[in-house]
Structure 1
């Protein structure tokens, strides 16, 4: 790892995750809240107020995630690529922040570079970077804040003022991303700084007034703006989302979430946690005695995220991300002290395992694209994927590259997976309806009612872009509301809501349905893919009143 550049690792992260992230190979349900609101912001110019696709107000999350989606739309136009671009960049920046934090704490390039490689290959960071939802932003800004905490733990009361800026600005931006979780971790961290017995920080030193004041302005800007525009009632839905809907009261559910949080906190450091299992207890004690304050701080944040995750009504692995950057630095420190870089056979086995998985992914991609219409870019991606697999195999004998090769082999799985999902998911329904609207010369500025799956509706809204006003309507309100619109888009299961005597109805989008993936395989093998796709695929119809 001697000549490894952190900029190269960040670039590799963006390029290998990018193909999977920047089109809707997979669409996470919560993305619709942010992209639907951002499309409306582009249309109206109101960048403060957030709306659902039904044009109802939504105040459950602070504004910053919406602005990241909006920034992509303003820079690149309303496209899937634009909706996720800055979230992918946030993932790459998180890798860089982890590297900087580890280098700051230990002044050891081995620990810093290993931290970056572990962070780059962490499944939760990779998946979060492919979605336009708050989690990767929260992780990035908490990593930024962690650098501030690390600065105080490293230099004590002599810490330069820049670490106060890192600490409080990171927390402020994190608060504008997701609210109370940032405040909770910030409070825990600040209490630790001023109360821990190993390297106690003076209150006036920790709370550098200019940094605190600027950060308070950033943190509460949107909340004050919403109070000014909409009054106190907007707080009801925000508080319900932050506390009421998230806090579980059933003991079995709490215990289940607690177990999952502890398990995933360890297992998701795959394969790195395997290298640190042997002698963990002894090594933990050793590291604690070397850096009591840092180890205590990491343990406090990990316990905090586990307890908070245990109390939610539904647990997701992405809830762990706020503390993963800090934990990654500690894990890298543990592994270096545990002699990871000398465990050549173990690292080679891990590399072989992930190379094997990549070969399987390549074969599946070849199967799909050989039997279905493809394009030159996908075949170019296949060639690059195959060459990178060969590179991993060829470099396995360079022992000091093994951590880098393992990290890249994990990232490469996502690069390769997009070759297969291209055939299953792309072009998505939104892009198909965009083509249909252009071919049929649907008038710009038309109002369109939508009845169907809301997640697909979000993709269709992005496909149509800001030139059309598309509004989600419920089945129960369809008959009374549809008359106010110029056109209608419906999912197949609601097709009976449209009378052929009153509407000109045409099929506008047809996609494979992932629920019938086995039938897709069989159809490809039997040579009747289009017939089976028509029978089992997802269909959306465009209708014009006669």
Structure 2
């Protein structure tokens, strides 16, 4: 009973952290959010719940269910970024609960608790649990399908799990397409084959399950095909299916292309795991061999480990086979990743000596190293980039010493992974600190947006003139569409700016000071004026000996100059 209360308290804490400053555009912001926020808003205002549009243009890219979820949230909480992102929060928390339950059934409660904590503190997971994008709901339905499929294999007489599997796949398909079917089917199918349980799958009423999925999926797609005709069908079969699988190549061998994709993309996704799953990724590369050794030795946990290994491997192989590589695709491995890492950490604490790196001392050293990095990074931002009272520094140091003692003390070393989880949750709960520090671009962009709105233009023409500034980040503050004049080619950027300035009597351009000098200051433009300026975090940092000296001298102004560059709002007015 006590453990259940601990879990409920953790879920409540997760909800608090995920919803804290949810309406603020912080580090978690993804530029795709504007598509779903704006499209759902247009569908609601147009009273058209079947046709997604973006600035009045048809948006065929994704199925309809995620738009409906956001609209449902709008209906309850009103149209806002908080309401749009709340959908991801709900599905993120439900994914944590499912992960906890699956880990508990596969292993034990300790692994389950740590799995929930590790999952919440995976940067890629945390970010998408606060984003108005469909990836977290898709991830939930994939986890639900795998959970249901595994439960059915354990209890073949419970056909409800078989039907739940197909229902989850179908709803996932209505979120983001065929991925919701392929990953669960591959995972459960291979797992049943390895465990010699194919006969059980044959009893799962597969035709009825497929019919159920078809009834869920088909109505909206039939409607779209009838309404938009050949254009929609060609887009779905071409852009969303063939091009994503094979690319634009027509002449080269399909098999050869697939092998190339598999090799290069697998390496890419391993790099993604190492960076986007940090700090836990340091352990997964040790946990994977441990799991294989356990399976080979027919350990008591071998069957459970098979499910996790197959799930991880099948997902990576599937995405590596596609023409596109995108970082956030790896969100689909977050649950098996968290469970595998947690199993590894708990096994090493319990005294396993299978491989040298699983010893408690080795684990404690790595956890202490990660804790120190997190502490130093947070403290640096807190005291150097944000105005924070210096008397708080001793409190931070004492807190670190306490965590240090817990990790290195043999009597409390079993709490070491949970200490790191707690530290990371504390840091994530302070994500708005990055906004106040100016590291997150939105802290500055919203100031520029306020200045532009004060101009009260009847017809606003706004452009972005620096390639380091993403127009979709600025778009969240405006109903008018923003033009991206900047490209990676300087001459093309200049040409785009000239065209904009010739076509419109008054144009606002947001750009860095260096780009202003390159494109506008020395060029033959009249009536160009800077109406606002501020500093934004540099996309290209250059830290040298001077930076090190500034840190030791506690020179905040000097440190600030290394991290920030000047951003300008320029107005070109032909009528002036």
TM-score (norm. length: structure 2): 0.73
Give me the whole-angstrom Cα distance separating, in 2, the residues matched to 1:533 and 1:279.
42
- Equivalent residue for 1:225? 223
Pick aligned residue for 1:184 from 176, 182, 189: 182
Q: 1:358 to 1:259 in 2, by over 3 A?
A: closer
1:537 aligned residue: 566
- Alpha-carbon distance between aligned partners in 2 of 1:542 and 1:483, rounded to the nearest angstrom: 13
Spell out the pairing of 1:45-444 with structure 2 (5 A cutoff): 45-52=47-54, 55-70=56-71, 79-106=80-107, 108-155=108-155, 157-159=156-158, 161=160, 163-189=161-187, 191-192=189-190, 198-199=196-197, 200-207=199-206, 209=208, 215-239=213-237, 240-247=239-246, 249=257, 252-261=260-269, 268=277, 269-273=280-284, 276=287, 280-286=291-297, 292=303, 294-330=304-340, 332-333=342-343, 336=346, 338-342=347-351, 344-370=360-386, 389=400, 392-393=403-404, 395-396=406-407, 397=409, 398-415=412-429, 418-422=432-436, 423-425=438-440, 427-428=442-443, 431-436=446-451, 439-440=454-455, 442=456
User: Retained in 2: the 8 A contact 1:430–1:456?
Assistant: no
Q: 1:28 aligns with which of 23, 27, 30?
A: 30
d(CA) in 2 for partners of 1:89, 1:498: 54
Spell out, residue by residue over 1:16-41, the C-alpha distance to the aligned partner (whole angstroms, 9 max, x if none): 56668753333434334333433433
Report the CA distance shift for 1:508/1:302 in structure 2 as closer, same or farther (over 3 A). Answer: same
How many residues align structurally? 525
Give, in whole Å, the separation in 2 of the partners of 1:3 and 1:277. Answer: 29
Q: Deviations over 1:144-167 (max 9, x none)?
A: 112201211222x22251x23532
Post-superposition CA distance 1:173-225 (Å, at most 9, x none): 2212221211212432564577665333254535484x655543443444233
Task: For residue 449 of structure 1, report the CA deviation from its aligned partner.
Answer: 3.3
The answer for the alignment partner of 1:450 in structure 2 is 462
CA distance in 1 between counterparts of 2:391 and 2:91 reads 27
| CA RMSD, 1 decimal | 4.6
Aligned-partner SS, 1:463: coil
8 A Cα contact 2:441 2:536, kept in partner = no
Q: 5+ residue gaps in structure 1?
A: none
TM-score (norm 1): 0.77
Contact 1:287/1:334 (8 A) holds in 2: no
> How far off its partner does 1:296 sit?
4.4
Shift of 1:356: 0.8
Query: Would you say 1:490 and 2:509 are equivalent positions?
Result: yes
Going from structure 1 to structure 2, the CA distance change for 1:194 and 1:146 (only over 3 Å counts) comes to: closer
Q: List alignment gaps of at least 5 residues for structure 2.
A: 248-256, 352-358, 486-492
Higher RCO by CA contacts (8 Å cutoff, separation 6 or greater): 1
After superposition, give the CA deviation of every residue in 1:213-261 in whole Å (9 maximum; x if it has no partner): 5543443444233223322312333341343145362755542212343
3-state SS, counterpart of residue 204 of structure 2: helix
2:145–2:165 contact (8 Å) kept in structure 1: yes
| Distance change (3 Å), C-alpha of 1:529 and 1:509 | farther
Quote how far apart the aligned CAs of 1:98 are: 0.3
1:359 and 1:148 mapped to 2: Cα distance?
40
Contact 1:450 1:471 in 2 (8 A): yes
Cα distance in 2, alignment partners of residues 212 and 90 from structure 1: 24
SS at match of 1:537: strand
Distance in 2 (alpha carbons) for counterparts of 1:439 and 1:266: 45
User: Which range is displaced more, 479-488 or 304-313?
Assistant: 479-488
For residues 277 and 145 of structure 1, do their structure 2 counterparts lie closer, same or farther at Cα, with a shift above 3 Å needed? Answer: closer
Q: How many Å separate the matches in 2 of 1:214 and 1:381? A: 59
